[in-house]
Amino acid sequence: MPLVTLREVLVPAAEQGYAVGAFNANNLEYVQAIVTAATAERAPVIVQASQGAIRHAGLAHITEMVRVAAREVPIPVVLHLDHGRDLELVRQCIEIGFTSVMFDGSDLPLEENIRLTARVVEWARPAGVSVEGELGRVPRVGVTAEEVRALMTDPDEAARFARETGIDALAVAVGSVHQMTQQRAVLDVPRVAAIRRATALPLVLHGSSGVAEDSLREAIRAGICKVNFATSLNVAFRRGLAEAMAEDPAGVDPRPYLARAREEVATAVRERIHLLGCSGRA
Ligand SMILES: [Zn+2]
């Protein structure tokens, strides 16, 4: 089916208490793995591209790969820009056919974050494109527990941010950390619930690859409706590639290696979809 917006998949998730997986794609094999896995699970899915992935694959290529993959399957697929910081690129994504964009102004002063996020909403709305904003900051691996806590989203500020920007979804900082390869982070679930009450928006969790599974399930019950996975898919892709190459070190045709990497990513995606309670929701 044609691509759908973020809002279209998150509204039912918020009503029914599950979360939709947002999976970062870097090349053709990731796109195929994510869409095939979601189809097998009969789950709505968000395929997202970071600025780095767009530099790697090319904006038009990423867009068309996801569009074609979506057209061939009966589940709703969203094409989303992850961590858009470059306003010009955000605008290009809206023009070329992304159905959702994130503007990440989380490292800007609050007033500036509000002003720029509201501008992105102004561009996106007439094009029928959803917008995710971020308030508070999900740090990268290497920070202390105190630093993580200091960067967490404040519910009152979140209420103002939601009201003054008109966003469709809000990424929150509630204890997760980007690029963690072990599941060690524990989330501040009462804070998730407080932000949800204050904003009435579907909430987004970044840095999920490092979050303990029980903590993730609780956070979903408290209002997390979109969960991003990037690092855990990269780990799966690399492992598949490395294992296939170790088993056939003299091989010349790269396709069996890439196929194995794709299988590993698909397996990881199916596991995450289960964990989010999203199986059978399409
Ligand atoms: Zn993120």
CATH code at 262? 3.20.20.70
Q: What is the mean pLDDT of residues 200-204?
A: 97
Q: What is the mean pLDDT of residues 226-231?
A: 95
Name the residue type at position 122: E
The rounded distance, in Å, linking the Cα atoms of 123 and 174 is 29
- Min mean pLDDT across 24-33, 59-68, 93-102, 177-186 is at 177-186
Whether 37 is in a domain gets the answer: yes
Give residue 170 CA to ligand 1 midpoint distance, Å: 12
Give residue 156 CA to ligand 1 midpoint distance, Å: 22
Tokens of 13: 């998730």
Total domains in the chain come to 1
Checking if the pLDDT of 186 tops 90, the result is: no
State the catalytic residues. 82
Give residue 230 CA to ligand 1 midpoint distance, Å: 8
Whether 282 is in a domain gets the answer: no
Beta bridge partners of 131: 101
pLDDT digits (tens, 9 = 90+) for 56-77: 999 999 999 999 999 999 999 9
Of residues 141 and 217, the one with the higher pLDDT is 217
Whether 229 is in a domain gets the answer: yes
Checking if the pLDDT of 199 tops 80, the result is: yes
Whether 280 is in a domain gets the answer: no
Q: Which domain holds residue 109?
A: 6-275
Give residue 206 CA to ligand 1 midpoint distance, Å: 4
Whether 268 is in a domain gets the answer: yes
Confidence of residue 183 (pLDDT cuts 50, 70, 90): confident
The rounded distance, in Å, linking the Cα atoms of 173 and 204 is 9
Nearest of 50, 41, 35 to residue 3 by alpha carbon: 35
100-103 and 130-135 as β-strands: parallel, antiparallel, unpaired? parallel
pLDDT on residue 139: 87
Q: What percentage of the chain reaches a pLDDT higher than 70?
A: 100
Checking if the pLDDT of 95 tops 90, the result is: yes
* This prediction's pTM: 0.96
pLDDT on residue 193: 98
pLDDT on residue 17: 96
pLDDT on residue 179: 86
Whether 1 is in a domain gets the answer: no
Give residue 3 CA to ligand 1 midpoint distance, Å: 22
Give residue 246 CA to ligand 1 midpoint distance, Å: 32
Q: What is the mean pLDDT of residues 117-137?
A: 97
Whether 281 is in a domain gets the answer: no
Give residue 231 CA to ligand 1 midpoint distance, Å: 10
User: With contact defined as beta carbons under 8 Å apart, do 262 and 29 qualify?
Assistant: yes
pLDDT on residue 185: 84
Whether 25 is in a domain gets the answer: yes
The rounded distance, in Å, linking the Cα atoms of 167 and 35 is 26
